Amino acid sequence: MRISSETYVFECSRQGCGYRIVRDEKGEIGQVRFDLKCPKCHNSEFKCLGKGDLRESFDLVVPTSTIDFDNINPVDLGSN
């Protein structure tokens, strides 16, 4: 996944929380948003701090796991 647009940082406005969300939606410094919810303190007021911390191109690495289809055992339904 690649993100190649400007990003902006929005910080939870609850005193002492400090949780930040980086969004690819433009915001003006000091702008207050009420459509985001803080996963840390559940406050729904965020203040824009300006352009974000993410690099212009950001690579997201997703770990992959391999499945050995030769060693799959059938599972009996209802067994514990």
Q: Answer yes or no: is 27 within a domain.
A: yes
Is 68 part of any domain?
no
pLDDT confidence bin for 59, thresholds 50/70/90: low
Q: How far apart are CA 63 and CA 68, in angstroms?
A: 17
Contact 21, 46 (CB under 8 A): yes
Tell me how many domains the chain contains.
1
Question: What does the pLDDT look like over 7-34, one tens digit per residue?
Answer: 899 999 999 999 999 888 888 999 999 9
Distance CA 17, CA 30 (A): 17
Q: Residue 13 has what pLDDT?
A: 93
8: containing domain:
1-55
For the stretch 47-57, pLDDT in tens is 999 987 655 55
Residue 57 main-chain phi, psi, to 5 deg: -120, 125
Per-residue confidence (pLDDT) for residue 26, from 0 to 100: 86
Per-residue confidence (pLDDT) for residue 33, from 0 to 100 = 92
Instruction: Tell me the C-alpha to C-alpha distance, in Å, between residue 15 and each of 18, 31, 56, 58.
Output: 8, 17, 30, 31
